[in-house]
Chain A
Amino acid sequence: MTNHLITNARLVDPEAGTVTEGALWLKDGQIAERFDTPLPEVSADLVPAEARLDAGGKYLAPGIVDIGVQVCEPGERHKESYGSAGEAAAAGGVTTIVTRPDTNPTIDSPEVLEFIRRRANEAAPVNVLPMAALTKGRAGGEMTEFGFLLDAGAVAFSDGLRVVRDNKVLNRAMTYARSLGALVVAHPQDPALSAGASATSGKFASLRGLPAVSPMAERMGLDRDLALVEMTGVRYHADQITTARALPALERAKGNGFDVTAGTSIHHLTLNELDVSDYRTFFKVTPPLRSEDDRQAVIEAVRSGLIDVICTMHTPQDEESKRLPFEEAASGAVGLETLLPVAMRLYHADALDLPTLFRAMSLNPARRLGLDCGRLTKGAPADLVLFDPDKPLVLDRFKLRSKSKNTPFDSARLQGKVLATYVGGTQVYAA
């Protein structure tokens, strides 16, 4: 049975929106008590001296819940396994990873899902919750067995970065999902407009001669999805909203009372299209990096709560698939281990404060998935991250725990370091 007393900490409480001095007692996997004084008096009978940790005034926050992580099992274990993804998550303060079904084979049957859950629980030190495919083979034709998949532990349904083109198929899948109360996670993007694009259209893409997509394609995809949400009443989450133009549609849908939430990726919050510079393929992500104006608008939407969730869209790619001309190179970046330090850029830039960041990284994604974590209240699961937002570091991509090292933050100067991570009261990482 776990038993820890973390004293002298600054508690980042996304529910209350506060950072206060305090202490937490973790027992039997839960937060057994929260103290509003940094050095509470707890008898040695309850917590022996060796189970006490003085946090030295560092920050303690609810562990991060990352929706949309790609673990390349089954199919491409050389890129990322549950073991390596789990270690990376633990080192990044991510206590729950919600995995994408875009593996080979696709996670679209209860049998594959059960295999995945078994593998994940053996190998990963953090919580792993799988999403299942929305359509069989992610082919956009027939819906998967939502009922069986829910019973087998699917927390949401998604075709990953693939868009269901056929409105009738999506309409039926959403209608059926609604009847089961299932959450549909979609990638809002017009598939025809964005076909073949590797950059956002504009001066930079034109100068570099890259095939580009208008930011309008995201709004068109979202508009289409939201119309179907209105028809079906399904619970809907947009994986990444990255452009200013898509925000009014999101705001309208929320204002009209539809069960809609949206995420955005840490990369779109901290990088823009110019970072691609001289065809640096580690900066090629889906959707492509946007203009600085869009980045600012999306930060503001996270601040206001219009965008609910910050995720990594962790997408491991091996060296071979990135060492190619930009158009041919694979898309995606790893992010589990860098999410927190990179998010601290937004904190140090006074763009987002710590409670807001953890609202978007921990509280909101947990709520959306009906999880009890993401909070610092008594009785909540003891999934926690202890970190120092000021500690400087220079990132060395070869030291990442992910099997794939495709981070856009190689050699970046970051400020913010995870000191310890707890999952269910057990320490799974210590710096």
Chain B
Amino acid sequence: MRFDQRHLLGIEPLRPDEITTLLDLSERYVALNRQQQKRSTVLAGLTQINMFFENSTRTQASFELAGKRLGADVMNMSMQASSIKKGETLIDTAMTLNAMHPDLLVVRHPHSGAVDLLAQKVNCAVLNAGDGRHEHPTQALLDALTIRRAKGRIHRLNIAICGDIAHSRVARSNLLLLHKMENRIRLIGPPTLMPAGIDAFGAEVYEDMKEGLQDVDVVMMLRLQKERMDGGFIPSEREYYHRYGLDAEKLSHAKPDAIVMHPGPMNRGVEIDGTLADDINRSVIQDQVEMGVAVRMAAMDLLARNLRAHPKELMV
């Protein structure tokens, strides 16, 4: 069991065996979370700061709960309302926080690469909770854990990622992870929401849902941001739902036991049919939320172990 990372900035730097290590440890936290006594002391004495430069309820709550269950002292900072508005730069904010000696820093930022930049300036472990359209590694890991539990494996599956690929960090991280684990990936969406050069990532690109969903094991839906719905990238919400919204009919082209995933929050009736989303035989959306806490506990546990094992590096 090896995990050699100092930060969790993305899926890109992870090796397949590190991903497996993290998923295996997550399983133990899934079990812990289902007990009445959920408390562990793995992070006791450590300080975790959640720094969100972009709105988030679910991810922030998940990280907060994960830290608390492991016994860390958790502080939430909502950065939209804070010093950034007063003109402080990201690096100054990072230096200020660094002086408070946090051990784990969870960061979400609206710009790609901002979390990497911040990680260069602090000497604690940094977890990327989403940066621009770059990466959202814990989401991809929780998706992988959900798939592994539902399908019994996380390799050699046919997986479709559908919707707004271009603006999605979830899609990028999933693509990287599923590719590393040797799955066959299809990307389905209108061409205006497909990033350039994406075929070079080793995925098959489809513009038609039914064609793309043919015989897949997993259907991952992505959220379509409100501001992209009207005229800019797609003609209208209703046309999008008609052509790309997942409903029972479109899903019938996938394998009979295909599972349906969504990172949330969902737009019912835009990218996914409400009834389908609630269908406990097909939808694993609630499982994803549960796995999210466990995966974040595992990630922070592993990073904290590395912190404790190499404290000298922290002095630089």
Residues of A that sit less than 8 Å from B by CB: 201-210, 212, 214, 278-279, 320, 323-328
Question: How far is the CB of B105 from the nearest CB of chain A, in Å?
Answer: 16
* Contacts known (A208-B134, A209-B172, A278-B116); A323 close to B111, Cβ less than 8 A: no
Among residues of B, the one whose C-beta sits closest to the C-beta of A214 is B196
The 8 lowest CB-CB distance pairs between A and B, nearest first, are A209-B134, A279-B113, A203-B197, A209-B133, A325-B111, A209-B112, A325-B114, A201-B196
- Residue in chain A with minimal CB distance to B119: A278
Known: A209-B132, A324-B90. A279 touches B196 (CB 8 A): no
Chain A residues, CB < 8 A from B172: 206-207, 209
| In the complex, B91 has a CB within 8 A of chain A | yes
B117 at the A/B interface (Cβ < 8 Å)? yes
Contact of A325 with B90 at beta-carbon distance under 8 Å, contacts A209-B169, A279-B117 already known: yes
> What residue in chain A is nearest B135 (Cβ atoms)?
A209
Total inter-chain residue pairs, C-beta < 8 Å: 72
Does B264 sit within 8 A of A, measured CB to CB?
no
Q: Which residues of A contact B97 (CB under 8 A)?
A: none
Is B56 positioned at the interface, with any CB of A under 8 Å from its CB? no
Separation of A206 and B112 alpha carbons in the complex (Å): 11
Chain A nearest CB, measured from B136 CB (Å): 10
Least Cβ–Cβ distance between A209 and chain B, in angstroms: 3
The complex places the Cα of A278 from the Cα of B116 at a distance, in Å, of 8
Of B113, B132, B196, B198, most buried by chain A (CB within 10 Å of CB) is: B113
Taking A206-B172, A279-B112, A325-B113 as known contacts, 17 extra A-B pairs with beta carbons closer than 8 A to each other, sorted by chain A number, are: A202-B197, A203-B200, A203-B201, A204-B197, A207-B172, A208-B134, A209-B113, A209-B172, A210-B134, A278-B116, A279-B113, A279-B117, A323-B89, A324-B91, A325-B117, A326-B112, A328-B111
Interface assignment of B235: CB less than 8 Å from any CB of chain A: no
Which residues of A sit under 8 angstroms from B195, Cβ to Cβ?
Answer: 201, 205-206
B197:A327 contact, CB within 8 angstroms: no
How long is the Cα–Cα vector from A320 to B195 in the complex, in angstroms? 31
16 CB-based A-B contacts, threshold 8 Å: A203-B196, A203-B198, A204-B197, A205-B195, A205-B196, A206-B172, A206-B201, A208-B134, A209-B113, A209-B131, A209-B134, A210-B112, A279-B113, A325-B109, A325-B111, A327-B132
B113 touches which of A204, A208, A212 (Cβ 8 Å):
A208
Q: Cβ of A325 and Cβ of B197 under 8 Å apart?
A: no
Give CA–CA (A323, B113) in the complex, Å.
12
Q: Nearest CB to that of A291 among chain B residues? A: B197
Q: Do B113 and A201 touch across chains, with their CB atoms under 8 A apart? A: no
Residues of B within 8 Å of A278, CB to CB, are: 113, 116
Do A206 and B197 contact each other (CB < 8 Å), given the known contacts A326-B113, A328-B111?
A: yes
Bound-state CA distance A324–B113 (Å) is 9
Q: Which residue of B lies closest to A319 (CB)?
A: B91
Contact for B196 among A202, A325, A327, CB less than 8 A: A202
Q: How far is the CA of A13 from the CA of B213 in the complex (A)?
A: 65
**CB distance A201 to B90 under 8 Å?**
no
Residues of B within 8 A of A (CB): 12, 89-91, 109, 111-114, 116-117, 131-135, 169, 172, 195-198, 200-201
Shortest distance between the CB of B92 and any CB in chain A (Å): 9
Measured in the bound complex, the distance between the Cα atoms of B199 and A203 in whole Å is 8
Residues of chain B with a CB closer than 8 A to A205's CB: 195-197
Contacts of A206 in B (CB 8 A): 172, 195-198, 201
- Residues of chain A within 8 A (CB-CB) of B200 are 202-203
B111, B131, B132 — most chain A CB neighbours (10 Å): B111
- Which residues of chain B come closer than 8 Å to A327, judged between CB atoms? 111-113, 132
User: Which A residues are in CB contact (< 8 Å) with B113?
Assistant: 208-210, 278-279, 325-327
Per the bound structure, the CA–CA distance linking A325 and B172 in Å amounts to: 19
Complex Cα distance, B133 from A226, in Å, reads 36
A202 to chain B, nearest CB (A): 4
Query: CA–CA, A184 to B35, complex, Å?
Result: 75
A380 shortest CB reach to chain B, Å: 48
Inter-chain CA distance A133–B198, complex, in Å, is 40
Are A208 and B112 neighbours in the complex by a CB distance under 8 Å? yes
User: How many Å from the CB of A147 to the closest CB on chain B?
Assistant: 44
A202 to B89, CA, bound (A): 30
Shortest C-beta distance, A167 to chain B (Å), equals 25
Closest beta carbon of chain B to A282's beta carbon, Å = 13
Closest A residue to B131 by beta carbon equals A209
Interchain CA distance A326-B115 in the complex, whole Å: 11
Distance of A385 Cα from B197 Cα, bound (Å): 44
**Which B residues are CB-close (under 8 A) to A279?**
112-113, 116-117
Q: Which residues of B contact A326 (CB under 8 A)?
A: 111-113
| List of B residues within 8 angstroms of A323 by Cβ | 89, 91, 117
> CA–CA, A203 to B205, complex, Å?
14
CA of A320 to CA of B88, assembled, Å:
11
Inter-chain contact B114/A212, CB cutoff 8 Å: no
Q: Which residues of A contact B198 (CB under 8 A)?
A: 203, 206
A236 to chain B, nearest CB (A): 30
Partner of B89, one of A204, A207, A214, A320: A320
Give the complex CA separation of A207 and B132 in angstroms: 12
Residues of chain B contacted by A209 (CB below 8 angstroms): 112-113, 131-135, 169, 172
Residue of A nearest to B92 (CB): A323
Q: How far is the CA of A212 from the CA of B167 in the complex (A)?
A: 12
- Counting chain B CB atoms within 10 Å of each CB, which of A202, A207, A214 scores highest? A207
Least CB distance, A15 to chain B, in whole angstroms? 43
Residue of A202, A206, A328 contacting most chain B CB atoms (<10 Å): A206
Q: Which residues of A contact B133 (CB under 8 A)?
A: 209-210
Determine how close the nearest CB of chain B comes to the CB of A293; give it in whole angstroms.
13
B201 neighbours in A (Cβ, 8 Å) = 203, 206-207
Residues of B within 8 A of A201 (CB): 195-197
The distance in angstroms between the C-alpha atoms of A241 and B169, with both chains bound, is 32
B114 contacts which chain A residues (CB < 8 A)? 325
Q: In the complex, what's the smallest C-beta–C-beta distance from B254 to chain A, in angstroms? A: 26
A339 to B88, CA, bound (A): 35
Q: Which residue of A lies closest to B199 (CB)?
A: A203
**A324: min CB distance to chain B, Å:** 7
A216 to B263, CA, bound (A): 35
The CA of A325 and the CA of B121, in the complex, are separated in Å by: 13
Chain A's nearest CB lies how many Å from the CB of B31?
Answer: 35
A328→B111 CA distance, assembly (Å): 8
How long is the Cα–Cα vector from A312 to B189 in the complex, in angstroms?
41
Chain A residues with Cβ under 8 A from B89's Cβ?
320, 323-324
Q: How far is the CB of A231 from chain B (nearest CB, A)?
A: 33
State A206–B195 Cα separation when bound (angstroms).
Answer: 6
Q: What's the Cα separation between A324 and B114 when bound, in Å?
A: 8
Q: Point out the residues of chain A lying under 8 angstroms from B90, CB to CB.
A: 324-325
In the bound assembly, the distance between CA atoms of A205 and B131 in angstroms comes to 14
How many Å lie between the Cα of A328 and that of B135 in the bound state? 18
